[in-house]
A and B are shown apart, each in its own frame.
Chain A
Amino acid sequence: MARFAHWLKLAVLLGVVAMSIAPMQRALADVELPGLQNHKGAKCVDDVDFIRRNHPDLLRHHRDETVHKGIRTTKYSLKNCVQCHASAKTGSVAEAKDDFCVACHSYVGVQLECWECHSSKPGKPDALPTEAAKTSPMMTSVNPEGLAK
């Protein structure tokens, strides 16, 4: 008898839980997902699902490599993200509510502090350094480009 009462209690509890979840699910379905349409390029630098999950780690790793070692590859650099994802309206990734970074981060309730120091707007169009190594004008009194001719 005691066992039956126990099962009954459990069944009631489950019922209550199920009833409380159902409206929540409906409510979640009503919330509009953030639209992440701001991008200039045709394709992200990596698989989009991978970037979505791992971009904080990628950025953190890249920032340390850049600040401490001077590694300036552009693939996972914040500057590169901004360059591509800045909105056409505000020119920024974090100024308006629907700008690229803010749209998603406010949806998930994560406060972004990057933009207190970093520029949320791309610089000049040619601001990204070219990947190819250039010759250095500072090392020699002779202009190497002039020599090559």
Chain B
Amino acid sequence: MSEHQFNQDAGQDRRDFLKTSAGLAGLTLAPGVLLYGISAYGRAPDEPASSEVRWGMLIDTTKCSSGCNDCVTACNTENGLDGKTGPQDSQWIRKVHIKDLQTSEQHDLPMMCQHCEHPPCVDVCPTGASFKRADGIVLVDRHICIGCRYCMMACPYKARSFVHEPLHDQKPDVPRGKGCVEACTFCVQRVDNDEQPACVEACNKAEHNAMLFGDLNNPASDIAKAVKTYATTEVRADLRLNTGVRYQGI
């Protein structure tokens, strides 16, 4: 408890320091220009993920194009998925089409692990394989996973897949194998290297800019500003899971 308290205090000090330096930098460079993000997230490789950060994603469904599948393709390429969409195939991200029957309002949106603050998959996991990292990313430790698939049943978002067949030629950064449950990792291997998830990068590259990734805890980040400004929703907000992925326009 005391250690936790200490860490929180240290985090506060660091944040204050960064705020001050950001303010100074803003004065010297240009109005509206903030240097806040420069050193705040450049986590050293030997530094553990911190609970000061909460990774989140905001998806603007009004910008998501109905014919576009770039986020799914990018996810498959990055994580070495074969792209098949059968009931026993791994899908870490899906494009979903929704329609309001009364108003005929239609939207497309990508749906993946919502990286809940209170993840049901972690609640039900009998071995502790399903866990939430300090920075809010929900993962499966495949070394501990016994493949019972309780988490798949618990997840309200159908986000998890089970690997049924032996796999070959996995990506060095994304180990996957038969007998384990898996799901979107927010491309944790990229995030730890200060890159954006593959889906977000692909969406921006296609100039749809429907996906925004960043630190919800950092008031100066684009995503924090956006969720503060616009009305955004969680899918199945009634479950009070406080998802890390939020949607705009649905």
A residues apposed to B, CB below 8 Å: 63-65, 67-74, 79, 82, 116-119, 121-123, 127, 129, 131, 133-142, 144, 147
Contact = CB atoms under 8 A, between A and B. Distances in A.
A117 B144 CA distance: 13
Contacts, number: 123
A82 B41 contact: no
Interface stretch (B32-40, B98-106, B107-115, B119-127): B32-40
Given A139-B36, A140-B222, A144-B38, A69 B169 contact: no
A144 B45 CA distance: 20
A54 to B, nearest CB: 18
Interface of B: 29, 33-49, 131, 133-135, 139, 141-143, 166-167, 169-173, 175-178, 180, 188, 192-196, 200, 213-215, 218, 220-222
Nearest to B194: A136
Given A70-B135, A72-B192, A117 B37 contact: no
Given A69-B134, A73-B46, A144-B35, A139 B172 contact: no
A136 B42 contact: yes
A142 B40 CA distance: 14
Contact of B45 (A71, A116, A122): A71
A51 B135 CA distance: 32
